[in-house]
Homo-oligomer: A and B are copies of this chain.
Amino acid sequence: MDIQQMGRQAKQAAHQLAQISSEQRKAALRMIANRLWAWRENILAANLQDVEKAQAAGLSEAMIDRLMLNESRLAGVIADLRQVAELPDPVGEVFEARRLPNGLCLHKRRVPLGVLAVIYEARPNVTIDVTGLALKSGNCVILRGGSETIMTNRQLVAAIHQGLEESGLPLAAVQFIDEPDRQLVYDLLHLDQYVDMVIPRGGAGLHEFCKQNSRIPVITGGIGICHLFVDESANLSEALKVIQNAKVQRPTVCNALDTVLIHCSIAEQFLPELVKLLKRDGVRFKADDKAFAILHGQFADVVELAGEHDFDTEWLSLVLGIRIVDDLEEAIEHITLHSTGHSDGILTENRKHAERFIAAVDSAAVYVNASTRFTDGGQFGLGAEVAISTQRLHARGPMGLQELTTYKWVVEGDYHVRG
């Protein structure tokens, strides 16, 4: 496997792809969707092999569930791909057009980023999702999936290649590193001559590895220690529902709630109600001293004193940190110290407090009176997302098709010269 060669071919394919019409790219995605469905027996048979290997290796049930495909899951992923095909195409959009005093006409024109590298772990749906988003936005992609799903991914990529071929698109538009050798990831991260953006999709370890070793800009993200602050003016019965939704609706994802901060003046009333409600959903609580003092007597079975690192932990499970704060400023200070800059919110009826919170909390998504669970490309109306960025360059929060593009400046004159 010659990774330099892959990079070169991807760059070349990116030049071709950038000049293919929107209609052609849409048609290619539809064709790929057809081919994936036609190829489903091969795909599911390969997936079964991956699953059996994982079981033999003693992987956890949760892990096996993640890598498992069946006909209905595959149908769902293909349906998503068909939806991406129909989204508005960001490529070619003209913006910031203006005429300068000297008569030069300037505009920015949206173009594909070029070559993406996506490094992911077990989920095979990422192979299809990323292919769809990359091609739709005119980009090429080099995929590096987890070794646990290598058999499945080979079949998926074979089907994708068939679709590319039948659509007249270069096969190198979607390339797959199909050897599990970790050195290849390292080599991929050094292809700065050919690759424009690296997107890791996985845990903190993968993100850190990419950041440490990449010569290419890395979009880190997907790790959320998320907060909601219940201000004294909040509608408390509504606040209960929002906190319950943010914590319980899908606790294993990055935009799920980790810590709730509560204004001291409402804590005695609100906290027991909150714990009573969430206890029924199986939530356990890590409370600071003050909250512990309020809750300990009544809820000793589910409330324990928070330890040193508990407010710096992304729970990804039915655990909720609770802290009582003196006021809005102390809440902001806590969030500034402990948030990962993903999704943080305030529940309040006080407009000034809402404005202050929005201005002071510097997270990718800042909420007023809504659940943090909305931080998601689909929920934000982007159609789909390739990642949720918690770094600051290029894009923050859910990254959809537009975030997979850049622009060129187009300057038109009448034989203008600079004086």
Residues of A within 8 A of B (CB): 15, 18-19, 98, 100, 104, 106, 109, 111, 113-114, 192, 196-197, 211-212, 215, 217-218, 235, 238-239, 241-242, 244-246, 249, 336, 345, 347, 354, 358-360, 362-371, 373-375, 379-381, 391-394, 396-398, 406-418
- Kindly list chain B residues whose C-beta atoms are within 8 Å of the C-beta of A397: 408-409
Partner of A359, one of B19, B239, B362, B392: B19
Contacts A197-B393, A215-B211 given; does A365 touch B100 at CB 8 Å: no
- 10 A–B contact pairs at CB < 8 A? A111-B362, A217-B217, A238-B415, A365-B409, A368-B411, A371-B418, A374-B411, A375-B411, A379-B418, A394-B394
Partner of A412, one of B192, B359, B369, B391: B369
Tell me the smallest distance from the CB of A295 to a CB of chain B, in Å: 23
Q: Is the interface of A mostly helix, strand, loop or mixed?
A: mixed
Would B392 and A406 count as touching, CB distance under 8 A?
yes
Would A365 and B418 count as touching, CB distance under 8 A?
no
Chain B, residue nearest A396 (CB): B406
Contacts A196-B392, A215-B212, A370-B104 given; does A358 touch B410 at CB 8 Å: yes
- Kindly list chain B residues whose C-beta atoms are within 8 Å of the C-beta of A249: 417-418
Contacts A367-B413, A374-B104, A393-B113 given; does A418 touch B245 at CB 8 Å: yes
Would B336 and A15 count as touching, CB distance under 8 A?
yes
Contacts A114-B392, A380-B106, A393-B113 given; does A413 touch B368 at CB 8 Å: yes
Stoichiometry, as copies per complex, reads 2
Partner of A415, one of B366, B370, B392, B413: B370
The CA-CA distance from A410 to B360 in the complex, in Å, is 12
Tell me the smallest distance from the CB of A252 to a CB of chain B, in Å: 14
- Kindly list chain B residues whose C-beta atoms are within 8 Å of the C-beta of A212: 215
Interface centre among A114, A192, A406 (most CB of B within 10 A): A406
